[in-house]
Amino acid sequence: MRNIFVTIGSWIRSVIDFFYPPFRKYMAIQFFRYGVSGVANVIFDWVLYFLVYHFVLHQQMLHLGIVTLSSHIGALFITFPVSFISGFLLQKYVTFSTSELRGRVQLFRYFIVLLANLVLNYLGLKLLVDTLRVFPTPAKMIVTIFTTLFSYFSQKKYTFKKIKPHTHQRA
């Protein structure tokens, strides 16, 4: 299964890299890959959120027994696992494919960063939708801008960081 992801990631990377030359002066290839794959995942997330909010939850409260979630928060919790998996695979096999950290370490760290993003999404949606009365889908888009910046730096410096070679000091 890993070989399939490596092959697909390599193909996606080639397609993204084809469009890179005009941006070469302005940004590093890794940032460009992050941007393109991230935007693709964000658009996927927005479409999925819209579909779940309108056609699965029908803008109704989500009753889970001991707790009831508003429809905009319910849609967030339903779509989160799907965009989590697609985002991890894109980052691991397209953007940060040279990281030598073990896959399960990357997955755990990615999960930690995404949990922080989930909290930021929750707080942002509560503020924008419940307090400021912004419509849910545009509110989700606004919150995504902030979480994207947080995510890039966290993924680069923490989740998919490159392992520095150990230097041996002589006594």
pLDDT in tens, 87-131: 999 999 999 988 888 889 999 999 999 889 889 989 999 999 999
Structural domain total, the chain: 1
* Helices and strands in the chain: count of H runs, count of E runs: 5, 2
The token pair that represents 31 in the structure block? 């940032």
User: Are residues 98 and 163 in contact, defined by beta-carbon separation less than 8 angstroms?
Assistant: no
State pLDDT tens for residues 154-167: 988 889 987 766 55
Does 170 reside within a domain? no
The token pair that represents 108 in the structure block? 């755990």
* CA pseudo-torsion sign 142, 147, 153, 159: negative
The token pair that represents 166 in the structure block? 């150990």
User: Are residues 121 and 76 in contact, defined by beta-carbon separation less than 8 angstroms?
Assistant: yes
What range defines the domain where residue 84 resides?
2-159
State pLDDT tens for residues 121-134: 899 999 999 999 99
Integer CA distances (angstroms), 123 to 29, 114, 142, 160, 170, in order: 33, 14, 12, 26, 52
Does 106 reside within a domain? yes
pLDDT value at 168 more than 60: no
Integer CA distances (angstroms), 21 to 72, 91, 136, in order: 40, 21, 37
pTM of the model: 0.76
Does 118 reside within a domain? yes
CA distance 156 to 153: 5
Place of tokens 């029908």: 58
